[in-house]
Structure 1
Amino acid sequence: MARTVARVIIDALQELEVGHVFGVVGDALNPLTDAIRTTDGLEWVGCRHEEAAAFAASAQSQLSGKLGVCMGTVGPGAIHLLNGLYDAAKSRTPVLAIAGQVPLAEIGSDYFQEVDNDLLFRDVAVYRATVTSPDQMPRLLEAAVRAAIGHGGVAVLTVPGDLGDQELTQDRPARFPRTRQLTRPDEPGILQAAEIINAASKVTLLVGRGAREAREEVLALAEYIGAPMVLTLKAKEGFEGDNPYQVGQTGLIGNPAAAGAFDECDTLLMLGTDFPYRDWYPTGCRVVQIDTQEQNLGRRVPIDAGLAGDTGATLRALLPHLDAKPDRAHLDTARKHFATWRTGQQRLAEPAHDTKRWTGRLRSALDNPDHDIRPEALAAAVDAYADDDAIFTSDTGMATVWLSRFVTMHGDRRLIGSYNLGSMANAMPQAMGAQLWAPGRQVVAFCGDGGLSMLLGDLMTIKTYQLPVKLVVFDNRRLGMVKLEQEQAGLAEFGTELDNPDFAAVATALGLTGIRVTDPDTLTDSVRRAFATPGPVLLDVLTNPQEVAVPGKPTVQQGWGFAIAKVKELLQSHEG
């Protein structure tokens, strides 16, 4: 018996070892969801919003390295996938989106809910196609999957509503050869990079997620040439734990030790990173960059040597040509500076900081008169009680700042977030995907109150599937990062205040365990209780809305802007 278009697609997903398909059911998807219903090992996860479905699929792909899959039906359903798919595209992770379409004969007639999907997804997808005949399967599906996996991106396959249950006249299994090629630069490029590094006296490494599979080679390099290692946020996972060379992050979430390691180097070696913030790169030094994507070479900062290739393979070829650097002064200075900074940060994170230390009492009088909980203390408590193999997700904004500074990716911990697209509302749906991918592991979402409320409906998805995720809400009643941006620019805070509900009560009403924390003295016990409670838990912690995260290298302009903003806010409050 010949298979239908829907059956060919679902059988192929089973062959690809896809475990979950995320989406919202509806008309054009009905043949596909019915095929999922009768397929062993493949589970349909019905979300409340397609954006959450795309985020969840992207999370599974990023964690597993395999294909993530989501679906959206005709018109609005497909449109709602876009933000999550852009996040997958910017994260360079393979995701297949199946989009519904109006009946084949109605395409182009401005039919009810008709949207030109091939045009809609043009910017986000490395491959997009509309199935117009059953016998195009499985060829179009193979092309879509190969493009998504080969390019590390999004492929969109559109299936008209009357085509999914049509049978193929020439049926065959879909074929997906699986090979991975490791490339390395040619010998002249290797020798050029070696010459630059050998001539340097102080080398600093900037290490990104693209070097994660080459941890041993990167650590060996740092030891051999005595180089401090600045990590991008995405390189925390894989490089932060048990690493005697790392000095934390740079940029707005960075620290003075990383800034100093940049300022003092005469050569910067970039490994697997396309760190986008030009203002934070060191100046007056030579730069060598290694990246698998040739188009990334020199894109952010002028380079003296660019090596296109796999980080591990390239370093294995490069290391024999390097001279050892026995002088450890550059590394030791950066590490000492980093240790001093971390000690100071840990003092800020003590729950009793505002009451037991005179500096804390003074600071509290100035910026926390209501005695709200310090976000530093919340992040540090989560770090202390989370499992060594916990999977963390974080919303863009201040929640990510506190995670970056106070949560250590030691052991087998994993970390994902919208660190390239910078979307709001990603942490909770990514936690859904992560928990389904690893049902036996602890999953912790660092949620901003603005981000959580944007896709609040999918708390019901967490309840429906009884996903034991722990949602930690930094409830500062603000769009905190926007507030900070405004004040650093000398603007009074405007439009950032949020009239929040009691999120713990909302969670309880939806069938989750809700815990609300308003007293710093109960913070530690509340975090411990949240992790000890079976099933999904939402921990709603009222944090200080006036908290400021000082960058690793603050500028006079930022400080002056902040002072001006505070004066404006004070005058504004008196006028009100």
Structure 2
Amino acid sequence: MNGAEAIAAAFAAAGVPAVFGVPGGGSSLDLLAAAKARGIPFHLARTEAGAVTMALATAELAHRPAAALVTRGPGVAAAANGLANASLERAPLVLVADGLGTAESRFATHQRFDQAAMAAPLTRAQAHAGEGAGAAAHRALLAALGAPRGPAYLELPGDAARAPAEPPPPWRPPALPPPSSDAVARARAMLAAARRPAIIAGLEATAPARCAWVRALAEALHAPVLVTYKAKGVLPDAHPLFGGVFTGGAAEAPLLHEADLILLAGADPVEFIPQPWRFAAPVLDLADWERGMDYAAPALRLAGAWEAADLAPTRAAWPDGAIARHRRAWLAALENGPSGNRGLSPSAIVRGAQAAARQAGADPRAAVDAGAHMFPCTSFWQAERPGDLLISNGLATMGHALPAAIAAAIHDPGRGALAFTGDGGLLMAMGELATACALRLRLVVVVFNDAALSLIGIKTGGRDLPARSLDWPECDFAQVMRGLGGQAWRAGNEAELAAALRAAFECAGPALVDARCDPSSYARQIAALRG
């Protein structure tokens, strides 16, 4: 066994579902061959940041660590945004990068910098295959799965990839300890005393066992559940206990002001917007780890495998109809019909996409990009299960939706995927349209095309900015998509949108709908959300 084979063996033992990347010379090709021999597929991306985002989304959907592969120097540098994304989305993955071998390092300056030091602030561990490739991969995987989860960096020089190596240690994934019996008893007492508890489910609640636990607790308590963006689907939007989406802003405040206990079920503070905590009720925090929480000190934290706690709840006493009333008010506050004549309402684009998917018998996972369009997408796209909506929330980076949707379509070809992206985000990730077309994925891309950075435009505050600081000439994304081998349509009104979406969801391969969007209602919607 050589070093590349030892790493592939460690990946296979940990259940790594796929490797994504942009290979270079050196060790990249050795690792690709070793992964193929172990049955681990490789998917060629067009950008390193896109490859890491594909690995991130795969890890979230598979609940297993994924891997990304880049060349040394510019490959590692270009992967930095993907690493930051994975770090703040708490996604377990290993980035494998080529490095300088022992002989090369004596004289090489070309493409040389301290890659591990660059990756250090963004990763849970930095390992070097020269110290033992199998053991290094094993350590990186364990670090990625530790609490909080995130990316790890593994440097694999060419000489280490081809040198004899020991097999990796036996794989035993890290396990969280159960909460203490004393903490569980105190949590039971808090729930027994509460008359109007409310649950906020977050990214740690998306694993199947935890999702089932949260649903059972909510139904036993008859308590409303709000979900963070990452936890959409932990409780279905159509469930009578669904209270809306929680960000820490104003839209969900009326419901939580009525609560006398707020239970954070795996809601990581990285998911909340940077505003003061608005709520007076005591907080019961169910968390993977003993984290700091600057927003509000919890009255009690159950740290570890919190889904193992038997909280033996008693039915609470929310007034009949109260949860439904709050949910209706939340949706009404976030509605953003057009107030100008520049194109389609953002919420009409989202609802039109879901209606067209259902009419076609499709059930795609939706990936959402950062930007003003994310607010109608996260509000109005109906989710039934965790993973029905993929989003960059902790980092909130543009360019996330398309590579995440590509990963979702690869992960589950039967369901396929839908990417909701702004024109700015798509321009950043344009090369990955070629990836989707080359792989012939079942993927629909919907572009909110308003030829501007609309979310940033709302924040100008009357500043006198240089011309074209926040906008650009309108791009014809449909023409770009056709040039890459996909199918595409443009839509400027609801009739054109309905026809385009219907045709897109009937396609066997990738399709794009370039929707001319009216951004005039975004400011009103964001004010309702955040206050």
TM-score (norm 1): 0.83
Aligned residue-pair number: 521
Q: Does 1:379 align with 2:350?
A: yes
Structure 1 residues 290 and 11 mapped into 2: Cα distance closer, same or farther (>3 Å)?
closer
Match of 1:300 in 2: 295
How far does the alpha carbon of each residue in 1:2-42 deviate from its partner, in whole angstroms, 9 at most, with x for none?
A: x3222322344344443432112212234425525862633
Q: Which residue of 1 aligns with 2:146?
A: 150
What do the CA deviations read for 1:72-102 (whole angstroms, capped 9, x no partner)? Answer: 1110111111111221121222111111112
RMSD: 2.7
For 1:280-300, what per-residue CA distance to the aligned partner results, in whole angstroms no more than 9, with x for missing partners? 63333222211121114x442
3-state SS of 2:522 partner = coil
- Does the 8 A contact of 2:248 with 2:273 survive in 1? no
Amino acid at match of 2:177: T
Deviations 1:378-410 (A, max 9, x none): 100112233564211110122321211111002
How much has 1:119 moved relative to structure 2? Answer: 0.7
- In the TM superposition, what is the alpha-carbon distance from 1:501 to its structure 2 partner? 1.9
Residue number among 496, 501, 504 corresponding to 1:527 in the alignment: 501
- In the TM superposition, residue 159 of structure 1 has moved relative to its aligned partner by 1.6
Counterparts of residues 371-520 of structure 1 (less than 5 Å) = 372-386=343-357, 389-410=363-384, 414-486=388-460, 489=461, 491=463, 495-520=469-494
- Say if 1:385 and 1:411 are closer, same or farther in 2 by CA, change over 3 A: farther
Q: Hey, what does 2:157 align to over in structure 1?
A: 160
> Gaps spanning 5+ residues in structure 1: where?
350-363, 559-576
Alignment partner, residue 233 of structure 2: 237
Once the two structures are superposed, the pairs formed by residues 305-384 of structure 1 within 5 Å of their partners are: 305-314=300-309, 316=310, 318-319=311-312, 322-325=313-316, 327-329=317-319, 332-342=321-331, 367-370=339-342, 372-384=343-355
Does 2:201 match 1:207? Answer: yes
Give the Cα separation in 2 of the matches to 1:220 and 1:131.
45
Identical-pair percentage? 26
2:28 and 2:71 in contact (8 A); partners too: no
Contact 1:250/1:280 (8 A) holds in 2:
no
Structure 1 counterpart of 2:23: 25
| Structure 2 letter corresponding to 1:20 | A
User: Hey, what's the Cα distance between the residues in 2 that align with 1:29 and 1:432?
Assistant: 26
Report the CA distance shift for 1:223/1:102 in structure 2 as closer, same or farther (over 3 A).
closer
Confirm or deny: 8 A CA contact 1:463 1:510 kept in the other structure.
yes
Partners of 2:399 and 2:332 lie apart in 1 by 32
Secondary structure, aligned partner of 1:107: helix
Alpha-carbon separation, structure 1, partners of 2:122 and 2:294:
20
**Which one-letter code corresponds to 2:288 in the other structure?**
T
- Give, in whole Å, the separation in 1 of the partners of 2:246 and 2:437: 38
Question: Once the two structures are superposed, what CA deviation does each residue of 1:128-182 show, in whole Å capped at 9, x if it has no partner?
Answer: 122336xx2322222222222334221211122343223x1xx543244234635
Relative to structure 1, is the Cα distance of residues 236 and 453 closer, same or farther in structure 2, using a 3 angstrom cutoff? Answer: same
1:569 counterpart residue number: none
Q: How far apart, CA to CA, are the structure 2 residues paired with 1:334 and 1:501? A: 43
The alpha-carbon deviation at position 240 of structure 1 amounts to 2.4
Partner deviation per Cα, 1:327-357 (whole Å, 9 max, x = no partner): 331x6323223235546867x66xxxxxxxx
* In structure 2, distance between residues paired with 1:16 and 1:304: 37
Worse-superposed segment, 57-66 or 150-159: 150-159
Q: TM-score, normalised by structure 2?
A: 0.90
Letter in 2 for 1:57: A
Q: Distance in 2 between matches of 1:462 and 1:498?
A: 26
User: Residue 541 of structure 1 aligns with which residue?
Assistant: 515
Q: Tell me which structure has the larger Cα radius of gyration.
A: 1
Paired position in structure 2 for 1:574: none
Indicate if the aligned counterparts of 1:182 and 1:313 stay in contact, CA closer than 8 A. Answer: no
Partners in 1 of 2:329 and 2:169 — Cα distance? 56
Q: Call closer, same or farther: CA 1:290–1:478 in 2, change over 3 Å.
A: same
Q: Bigger CA drift: 145-154 or 272-281?
A: 272-281
**In the aligned structure 2, how far is the partner of 1:262 from the partner of 1:37?**
49
8 Å contact kept, 1:278–1:301: no
Superposition map of 1:110-125 within 5 A: 111-125=109-123
Please tell me the residue identity of whatever aligns with 1:302.
A
